[in-house]
Amino acid sequence: MKVKCFGIAKDITNTDVINIEEENIPQSVEDLKTWINNKFPEFKNIKSCMIAVNQEYAEDEQILNLGDEIAIIPPVSGG
């Protein structure tokens, strides 16, 4: 499974795509967030980080499938 990273998520992971081995694929968005926080503890310092699945913001309960397009969308600021 590939997870695209944008903004500060890209800075924290030092990559624009995280590859998750098939045997470690999270079952839900909530499981993915837990996996990310364990693998990259700096994410715990970000107040609100959204997960998009197939180009739509996803709730924690959403089930993930192997072919889903997943992205970490960090908070953005600007004026």
Segment 6-63, tens digit of pLDDT: 999 999 999 999 999 888 889 999 999 999 999 999 998 887 889 999 999 999 999 9
List the chain domain ranges.
Answer: 16-70
Q: Are 40 and 14 in contact (CB under 8 A)?
A: no
pTM of the model: 0.88
Q: Residue 56 burial (CB < 10 Å; 0-12/13-18/19+)?
A: exposed
